[in-house]
Amino acid sequence: MTTINLTTKIKAPKQTVFNASRNIDIHQKSASPTNEKAIAGVRSGLINLNETVTWRRKHFGFYLTHKSQITAMTFYDYFVDEMEEGKFKSFKHEHFFAEENGITIMKDKLQYETPFGLFGELFDILFLEKHLTNFLLERNKVLKEVSEKTDLKYDF
């Protein structure tokens, strides 16, 4: 199992950052390099506990689908999305939010397992972990930009 941990500091209230993080439209904007689109489930606006979204995106030259469900949520501190259907053996993304002196500290913990045994592990080491880290960094850059510029304080 591979774990990616990232921390992003954002000059915005944690409610704003929390809502931006679960906003399907903002996610699609951050994932535009992979042409990612929500094609089923919640396809726009805020996703909530027990709701699902199915994404279609292009990675490594192939179009892939990935269905996730929000399996845990504590407003405005934490939520989890987990793969229901997709190419991974397992995929769990935990999102943590804390606020200190007007700065939101957003932490991502992404844990996943690749299929295909040794071949999958080698692919992860050579390409996938870096690809997913860069994907999350781009997502977090967009979340930071949107959250810091918004006039809306808690909702999108």
Length of the chain equals 156
pLDDT at 38: 96
SS (H, E, C) 101-138: CCEEEEEEEEEEECCCHHHHHHHHHHHHHHHHHHHHHH
Confidence check: pLDDT of 110 > 90: yes
> Which phi and psi angles does 154 have, rounded to 5°?
-140, -20
Confidence check: pLDDT of 90 > 90: yes
Which residue, 31, 38, 70, 75, is CA-closest to 52? 70
Instruction: Annotate 34-62 with DSSP letters as a single string.
Output: GT-EEEEE--SSB--TT-EEEEEEEETTE
pTM flag (> 0.75)? yes
Percent of the chain with pLDDT over 90: 85
Percent of the chain with pLDDT over 70: 96
pLDDT at 84: 97
